[in-house]
């Protein structure tokens, strides 16, 4: 089976059927008035499953191997030496932790964590075992110079080494089997879409496929040009649609990267494409394989041997996303533990003040424009609630109850959103989620602000940088939504856990300003 057959997101039957449809109905839009063709919808459906980043898998493997080697050292110690608080704290514990850490570091130096190395356990086992032996030699050298050699049991030392060898042989073979299987099933890969067709795209695809160990899966081609300049099939991959349909496609499919296959001298066209595509939460790369202009090597990233210019990076990915998720869960649980009396009292007050449910759900835009249901304490009369938020709440709004006015001014109505955070719909800190049909003067926010949807490249938050800077409450003019969006984009570009912590710390103080909260 060749590279195209193995990595393509489509089977040959789907391609033939869709191409027959395109030839039979040239220029006809897809059913339902959508931008996407039937072929693009089929491909997006097949790519809707979440894939695993190689970076995350390798990072997890490092932690797992460290824990496994350390656990084997402590296990042998407990069986043979017994347990002594003094010896475990002063001698054996530090030696086990240091030896395991040295081993993982040497695995990294010996390139034992590269995907090609992980695919073949037998080929890389000599390097792995040499690194493990070197870690032991280093520990022995350190104990010799510190004159601690007689403190350690030689039987424990040798048994730990042998146990580690056995554990590494077994685990590396399991990992190799898993990675080969994940690569075949499309679980571990970076999914890429080519923007641009013709000879440039063909040469790019062939250059990528020459590297047998790259983790890129090409999912199709999108191009605005007609079939004369951009054929319907390039290097075995179908053209799925134009650039407008690419935006819809990327919303539905789990795509990691857009590769623009256009020459640098097509500056105006590249800029036009970027203006449409930068709102997507994807890595955007400009292929530099066909350009005669060469920059310094550090200016490029590489897919195999193909040089790429990094235009946009997807924000908050891989281990950053893990750290942010842990941050969200910890502080949300802490907030619920601290504020549960306030939430219970609010629920009773709402029930006593007006008939109807305590909670209210509103549809809002989430990550990548997905529609999510956000929880709030009900602040309006039940028969006048507005789940679409088409009519914004204004000062003295008769729809708002007496209790509702208080909880809206103090933002207590937002407290149930901590449960949205635990569900994964929201982050604790991020751009505030706006209602799906939110508008300013009967104009949707996306019509007011160019690039508005770029704020959806990360999960929305319970609080955000815009709120810290005073942009909360009613949006009654274009400037307010422009300023909010500018703050949101600043947050996305400058995100860090410390930045999240700063926003979280400042939020209670900023809530004291209730000028625009109705």
Give the per-residue pLDDT at 293.
52
- Supply 358's token pair: 């305590």
Residues 364 and 288 placed together within one structural domain of the fold: no
Q: Are residues 439 and 324 in the same domain?
A: yes
In terms of domains, do 93 and 202 share one? no
Q: Find out whether 4 and 235 touch, Cβ atoms under 8 Å.
A: yes
The range of the structural domain enclosing residue 60 comes to 54-185
10 inside domain: no
CA atoms of 20 and 478, how far apart (whole Å): 47
> Is residue 177 located within the same domain as residue 212?
no
Does 329 share its domain with 459? yes
Residue after which a domain boundary falls, among 137, 155, 185? 185
- Give the pLDDT mean for 359-376: 88
In a domain, 13, yes or no: no
Task: Count up the domains in the chain and report the number.
Answer: 3
DSSP 194: E
Residue 518 located in a structural domain? no
Inside any domain, residue 287 = yes
83 and 179 fall within a common domain: yes
Residue 236 maps to a domain: yes
62 found inside a domain: yes
The predicted-structure confidence for 450-507, as pLDDT tens digits, reads as follows 888 889 899 999 999 998 988 876 676 778 888 899 999 999 999 999 999 999 999 9
- In this structure, of 157-161, 286-290, 346-350, the range with the lowest mean pLDDT score is 286-290
Q: Which pTM does this prediction carry? A: 0.76
Distance between CA atoms of residues 195 and 244, nearest Å: 11
Q: Do 303 and 340 share a domain, yes or no? A: no
Same structural domain, 343 and 402:
yes
From 291, 312, 333, the end of a domain falls on 312
Kindly report which listed range (21-30, 145-154, 363-372, 408-417) carries the lowest average pLDDT score.
Answer: 21-30
Q: What is the rounded CA–CA span in Å between residue 371 and residue 15?
A: 31
Same domain, residue pair 388 and 265: no
Is residue 440 located within the same domain as residue 496? Answer: yes
Is there a single domain that holds both residue 486 and residue 337? yes
Co-location of 157 and 231 in the same domain: no
Q: Could you report the per-residue pLDDT of 85-136, keeping only the tens digit for each? A: 767 777 778 888 988 999 999 999 988 888 778 888 888 889 999 999 999 8
Within a domain: residue 150? Answer: yes
Task: Write down which residue in 126, 159, 185 finishes a domain.
Answer: 185
As to burial, measured by CB atoms within 10 angstroms (0-12 exposed, 13-18 middle, 19+ buried), residue 1 is exposed
* 517 assigned to some structural domain: no
Residue 234 is part of a domain; what is its CATH number? 3.40.50.20
Residue 294 has pLDDT above 70, yes or no: no
């Amino acid at each position: 089976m060749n590279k195209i057959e193995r990595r393509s997101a489509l089977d040959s039957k789907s391609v033939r059927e869709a191409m027959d449809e395109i030839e039979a109905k040239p220029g006809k839009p897809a059913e339902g008035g959508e931008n996407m063709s039937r072929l693009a919808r089929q491909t997006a459906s097949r790519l809707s499953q979440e894939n695993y980043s190689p970076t995350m898998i390798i990072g997890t493997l490092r932690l797992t191997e460290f824990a496994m080697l350390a656990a084997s050292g402590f296990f042998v110690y407990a069986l043979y030496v017994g347990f002594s608080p003094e010896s475990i704290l002063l001698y054996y514990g530090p030696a086990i932790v240091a030896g395991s850490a040295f081993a993982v570091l040497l695995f990294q130096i010996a390139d034992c964590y590269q995907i090609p190395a992980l695919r073949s356990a037998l080929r890389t086992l000599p390097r792995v075992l040499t690194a493990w032996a070197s870690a032991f030699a280093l520990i022995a050298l350190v104990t010799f110079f510190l004159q601690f050699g007689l403190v350690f049991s030689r039987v424990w030392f040798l048994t730990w080494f042998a146990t580690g060898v056995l554990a590494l042989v077994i685990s590396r073979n399991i990992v190799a089997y898993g990675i080969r299987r994940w690569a075949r099933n499309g679980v571990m890969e970076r999914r890429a879409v080519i923007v641009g067709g013709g000879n440039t795209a063909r040469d790019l695809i062939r250059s990528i496929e020459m590297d047998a160990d790259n983790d890129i899966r090409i999912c199709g081609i999108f191009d605005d040009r007609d079939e004369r300049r951009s054929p319907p099939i390039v290097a075995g991959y179908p053209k799925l649609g134009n650039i407008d349909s690419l935006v819809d496609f990327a919303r539905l499919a789990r795509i990691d990267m857009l590769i623009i296959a256009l020459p640098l001298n097509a500056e105006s066209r590249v800029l036009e494409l970027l203006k449409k595509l930068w709102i997507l939460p994807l890595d955007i790369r400009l292929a530099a394989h066909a350009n005669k202009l060469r920059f310094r090597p550090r200016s490029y990233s590489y897919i195999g041997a193909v040089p790429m210019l990094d235009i946009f990076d997807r924000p908050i990915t891989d281990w950053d996303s893990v750290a942010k998720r842990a941050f969200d869960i910890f502080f949300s649980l802490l907030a619920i533990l601290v504020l549960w009396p306030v939430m219970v009292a609010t629920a009773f007050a709402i029930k006593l003040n007006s008939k109807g449910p305590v909670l209210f759900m509103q549809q809002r835009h989430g990550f990548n424009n997905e529609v999510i249901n956000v929880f709030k304490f009900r602040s309006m009369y039940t028969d006048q609630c507005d789940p679409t938020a088409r009519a914004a709440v204004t000062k003295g709004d008769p729809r708002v109850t007496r209790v509702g006015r208080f909880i809206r001014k103090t933002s207590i109505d937002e407290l149930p959103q901590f449960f949205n955070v635990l569900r994964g719909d929201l982050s604790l800190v991020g751009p505030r989620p706006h209602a799906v049909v939110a508008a300013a003067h009967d104009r949707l926010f996306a019509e007011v602000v160019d690039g508005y949807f770029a704020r959806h490249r990360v999960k929305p938050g319970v609080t955000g940088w815009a709120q810290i800077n005073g942009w909360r409450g009613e949006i009654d003019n274009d400037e307010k939504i422009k300023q909010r969006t500018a703050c949101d984009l600043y947050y996305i570009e400058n995100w860090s856990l410390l930045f999240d912590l700063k926003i979280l710390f400042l939020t209670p103080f900023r809530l004291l300003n209730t000028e625009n909260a109705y």
